[in-house]
Amino acid sequence: MIELIQRRRGLIAGIIAIILFGMWASTQYEPRVLASILLSGLTLGALYFLVTSGLSLIFGLMDVLNFAHGTLFMIGAYIGFTLYANPRLLLNTLPFGLALVAGWILARWLPANSLPSGHRRPLWVAAVLVGLFAIWNFELAPLATTALSSGGRVPTEQAQAPTPIFIARALGLAVAGVIAGAAFLAGREHTRRPERRDLIVPIILLALALLIAPLRLTLEEWLLSLDSNTRFLLALLIGAGGGAALGGLMEWSLIRPLYSRPIYQVLVTLGLVFVGTELVKGVWGPGGYFMELPAWFSQRGPNCPSPNLIAWLQDNCASIDVLGRPFPSYRIFIIALGILMFVGIAVLLRYTRLGMIIRAGVQDGEMVQALGINVRRVFTLVFALGAGLAALGGVAAAPFLGISPGLGQEFQLQAFIAVVIGGMGSFTGAAIGSLLVGLARAFGDQIVLTGIQLPWMSEAMTFSPSIARASTVLIMALVLLLRPAGLFGKKE
């Protein structure tokens, strides 16, 4: 018994601290205030979790500290918002990306041995020139700025290039992709011979690109005519998918060559924060946007706030009554999304082969490789998964926090703190850490708002607003004193 207490002293101390804090909080606040603080904390915790889960998986499996994870969160928010409010921007750029990738893949059918490595550099230059020529004079600004002035609801045809020119650009980029792919393959031995069925992917991509081109206007109108709920779900899906694609691309192109040089990796991800932020400013402008809530979470009327969750399902009020205090229903949705993702990832890790490979790879990636598993491919997949989760968080946060180029930084910092509290590389730790950080922020905000009433003082003690932010760092310091590897971290 004593031995058990000694072994679990961190856990026991934690539970005692939580109980004491709970007792103190319940004397300090009325139940309904306490309930709404807790729910706010859970909301923040759920958002942090979407960032930390990916961060922690990526660190655990490949030892990469991804400083750009918050940037992916922010870009996810922009992509989702763009689909929601101004799909024109996506519809007019997506075909280019698809064509480029299709061309890249098609390069594998070139006779590989005819390309010695000496051709590599001129081929890269040619690819860049052809690519630049293809998008020469392409105007991105009008596509993006219309969203700012009109919410993207007026389909102005003059913002879009005529279809033949557009298709010519896409084909030009496909050619650039082929040349770049050839440059990539030049002089490489041991590339697998492509089979006929490998043709399916590039052909689908190219077909999609060529199909979207003439249908851009129709698709845009169709998307904007959808009700806000459907568009919102699509925004979540496309935002997460776009983030995942960016994450996969990032791992494959920038992180992978640097696995033997971890310091450079950190620098690359740090640099990507600036590049990503500036790119977003370049495309969407430095100002922020506000994403409207979909209809599910924005009804107002005589029977609002909804008395409970069941009633909300019918009246879709903007807020739900929690012990006599209205609480925004959208935040409940964020909590639900966080729980759903937690369960989803837990199931993935526990019951699928990919999850098994991840758990094994966290411990010994080399041995996984020696068993005949292409760990590099799993790395890319997990990076994409983590980036997709962060981007999903970004879209979910958009209607609640607003969208701006600085959105990612704050989340990045808090997510790092949460990961450290939970223990680097531990999935459960990431969840608990996020929850703690979220609750600390919520309680911190409340304390700043009302101060703390101590029995021996006549007036409430007040704090500066920075205490809310400092509280999470304080918790981190405490946890690290008790358990240097974090709550669920394993000692190496």
Partner 1 sequence: MNEVLLEVDTIHTFIGQFHILEGVSLKVRAGSITALLGRNGAGKTTTLRSIMGLNPPRSGSIRLGGEAINGRPAYEIAYLGVGYVPEHRAIFRDLTVEENLRLAERKRGDLARRSDFIMSLFPDLKRFYRHPGGKLSGGQQQMLAIARALVPDNRLLLIDEPSEGLAPIIVEQIVAALRQMATETTILLVEQNFALAAQLADEYYILDDGRSVQHGRMADLTRDHATIDKYLGAG
Q: Rule CB under 8 A: which residues touch partner 1?
A: 189-190, 353, 356-357, 359-360, 362-364, 366-376
Closest C-alpha to 316, from 289, 302, 334, 298: 298
CA angle 466, 472, 476 (to 5 degrees): 140
Radius of gyration of the chain (CA): 25
Closest C-alpha to 447, from 478, 468, 431, 475: 468
Helix (H, G, I), strand (E, B) or coil at 266: helix
- Looking up tokens 């000496």, which residue turns up? 118
Q: How far apart are CA 430 and CA 443, in angstroms?
A: 20
The pair of three-digit structure tokens given for residue 63, joined into one six-digit string: 């030892």
The pair of three-digit structure tokens given for residue 361, joined into one six-digit string: 């790879």
Helix (H, G, I), strand (E, B) or coil at 396: helix
Crossing angle of helices 87-106/69-85, nearest 10°? Answer: 120
Q: How far apart are CA 319 and CA 308, in angstroms?
A: 10
The pair of three-digit structure tokens given for residue 247, joined into one six-digit string: 């994450």
Q: How far apart are CA 443 and CA 257, in angstroms?
A: 43
148 vs 356, which CB is nearer to partner 1?
356
CB 190 within 8 A of CB 174: no
CB 117 within 8 A of CB 193: no
Contacts of 44 (CB under 8 A, 6+ apart): 437, 438, 439, 441, 442
Task: Name 461's bridge partners.
Answer: 452
257 vs 282, which CB is nearer to partner 1?
257
Q: Identify the sign of the CA torsion 278, 279, 280, 283.
A: positive
Q: How far apart are CA 266 and CA 261, in angstroms?
A: 9
Q: How far apart are CA 319 and CA 40, in angstroms?
A: 13
Q: How far apart are CA 135 and CA 72, in angstroms?
A: 25
Backbone angles phi, psi at 321, to 5 degrees: -75, 120
Q: Identify the sign of the CA torsion 88, 95, 281, 466.
A: positive
The pair of three-digit structure tokens given for residue 271, joined into one six-digit string: 């640099």
Q: Can you list the alpha helix ranges (DSSP code H) found in 187-226?
A: 200-225
**197 Rama sector, left if φ>0, alpha if ψ -120 to 50, beta otherwise:** alpha
